[in-house]
Structure 1
Amino acid sequence: MDGHLLIGIATPVTLKIVDGIDSLDAPTPCTGWDVRALVNHLLHWGPVLAAAARKEALAPGPAVDRTGGDWRALLRAQIDATAGAWSDPAAWEGTTRMGGPMELPADLIGGMVLGELVLHGWDLARASRVDPHWDDTLVLRVYDEIARCAVMGREMGVYAAEVPVLASAPTLARALGLSGRDPAWTP
């Protein structure tokens, strides 16, 4: 299934998870990040990812804590904006930038967006003790996208060292392990 369609499948599950967040201070599977830090990460990079879909170069601004006020509405709006931008088939074509001068294949960045929705969605779900369910086709694509850029992701510090997971484990567990997350993690 094309990436622009998978964005539409991933987004509602992630938004439901956002609605269920019960504590900004809860730990997440992202080492050293609580829910507040992860929400701020998503709010910080969301505009850059949405701009990349439109083939616009937008450098990320300074990292700030945006969890005062109605952070949930801000996060929902940012996820919707990013997903809306990547729902356009043209977003996945050609090359684009993520705030810097280096051009990257647009489908690589789109794959990262799928990964952000699922991996960070899972992080937030686990922090809130929720077990999310994404479509199998989506999860397989996310696994493939992680495999595609895992070495680069580790070099950039985006992914931790791979967590060994049985080859017979569900695809989501294997994707989590490949990204450096322990599928059995609990707060």
Structure 2
Amino acid sequence: MSEAQHVKRATTALAGVVEGITPDQLAAPTPCTEYAVRDLLNHLLFWGPSLEGAAHKEQVPPPAAAESDVDLPDDWKRQLTQLLDRMAQAWSTPDAWTGTTHMGGPNEMPSAMIGGMVAMECAVHTWDLARATDQPLQLDEDLVTFAHAQAEQTAEQGRAMGAFADEVAVPETAPPLHRLLALTGRDPAWKR
């Protein structure tokens, strides 16, 4: 399976969970401890344009306001599902994965690393939102394996930036999804 297919599968899974979220679930806690469902949806809308722009080799800085100062729009479901579709389309071209690009800031990074982060972030946030809203999870094993490999490459940097919590201990025999979640600082047994 190609890298682009992993992004498509991750964004499709995330869009499916987003579609299943009801307004009364927006205040529910998520395994991503600093975010309620509303906050996590807002986080995706806040950073999504930068991730989409990275595929086009465009520097799209996040909004000038702090993420916590931006309110979730009334039409969040439509905006987010459309954004996820555009992200999948943007990362579907071979050029998106070559050379270097920007992820919202002036520093250039390898495009393949950013594309891998997009797939990994979408997969992990799919689990976050599915768990928080009691929805079934639809992540295939190939995507989870790919996302885990990406997380292994960027976990230390993610922790240094505050994007990941400390790794959670899981047995070596844990399923691939549990190892991915643990690497990103999530407890695979989390329940609300």
Which residue of structure 2 aligns with residue 83 of structure 1? 88
| TM-score normalised by length of structure 1 | 0.96
Moved over 4 A (4+): none
TM value normalised by structure 2 = 0.93
In 2: Cα distance, 1:25 partner to 1:123 partner: 14
Q: Do 1:28 and 1:124's aligned partners in 2 also have CA atoms closer than 8 Å?
A: yes
Contact 2:12/2:84 (<8 A) preserved:
no
TM-superposition CA deviations, 1:52-96 (whole Å, max 9, x none):
000001111123444242211111111111121111121111100
Please report how far the alpha carbon of residue 11 of structure 1 lies from its aligned counterpart in structure 2 after TM superposition. 2.3
- State yes or no: 1:148 paired with 2:137: no
Aligned partners of 1:90, 1:66: CA distance in 2, in Å?
Answer: 34
Is residue 129–residue 186 contact of structure 1 (8 Å, CA) maintained in 2? no
Could you say which residue in structure 2 is the equivalent of 1:4?
4
Count residues with an aligned counterpart.
187
Moved more, 55-64 or 30-39: 55-64
AA matched with 1:100:
G
Q: Verify: 1:16 aligned to 2:8, yes or no.
A: no
**Percent identical across equivalent pairs?**
46
Distance (Å, rounded) in 2 between the aligned partners of 1:66 and 1:106: 30
Farther-moved stretch of structure 1 (81-90 vs 140-149) = 81-90
- In structure 2, which of residues 176, 179, 182 is the aligned counterpart of residue 177 of structure 1? 182
Cα distance in 2, alignment partners of residues 160 and 131 from structure 1:
25
SS of residue in 2 equivalent to 1:104: strand
CA contact (8 A) 2:165 2:186 kept: yes
Q: Deviations over 1:141-164 (max 9, x none)?
A: 000000001111100111100001
- Report the CA distance between 1:8 and its aligned residue: 1.9
Alpha-carbon distance between aligned partners in 1 of 2:154 and 2:161, rounded to the nearest angstrom: 10
In structure 1, list runs of 5 or more residues that go unmatched: none
AA aligned opposite 1:74: Q
User: For 1:145 and 1:169, how far apart are their aligned partners in 2?
Assistant: 18
1:54 aligned partner: 56
- Change in Cα spacing, 1:88 to 1:7, as seen in structure 2 (3 Å) is same
Stretch deviating more after TM superposition (100-109 or 59-68): 59-68
Give the partner amino acid of 1:89. Answer: P
Equivalent residue number for residue 35 of structure 1: 37
Counterparts of 1:161 and 1:74 in 2: how far apart (Å)?
Answer: 32
The corresponding residue for 1:26 is 28
